[in-house]
Amino acid sequence: MNDDSQPEMSMLITERHSDSGVRLLPFGEIDMATVGQVRDAIIAVLARDKPAAIVLDLRHVSFIDSTGIGELVRCHRAAAVSGSVLTVENLAPFPRRQLWATGLLGLFGMADQHHDGPVLAPQIERSA
């Protein structure tokens, strides 16, 4: 238990290795309570395996908050410094909306589209 007498949250994160890199699959929500575990898993893979690529497969993540997004950006930078690429895949609708709203889908290798379809620039009417 932490100092506030609230139970500590634990997140299951599985690793799958391939010739092209490492795939991490977290289960649950990425928020203030669990983001440290996601960060630690990514940093451990970078230090131990030095993969060319890390894929963060978020198919089992239903929620991500601003703390989680900020930490993913820091992990993306740490991967780049280590000569690796961190991407995300299989986003559920809410995490996809969060990354889309912050303009970070492209940073993590995803098409810059909203969960419901492509983001289209508004049409500007021109007068003759």
d(CA 40, CA 21): 17
Give pLDDT, residue 9.
72
Predicted pLDDT of residue 112:
59
Q: Among positive and negative, which fits the CA dihedral 62, 32, 50, 106?
A: positive
- Residue-by-residue pLDDT tens, the chain, 128 positions: 445 544 557 899 999 999 889 999 999 999 999 999 999 999 999 999 999 999 999 999 999 999 999 999 999 999 999 999 999 999 999 999 999 999 999 999 987 554 444 443 444 454 54
Q: In the CATH scheme, what is the homologous superfamily, with its name and number, of domain 12-118? A: STAS domain (3.30.750.24)
What is the 8-class DSSP label of residue 20? T
C-alpha to C-alpha distance for 18 and 14, rounded to whole angstroms: 13
pLDDT of residue 10: 83
The span from the CA of 54 to the CA of 109, in Å, is 11
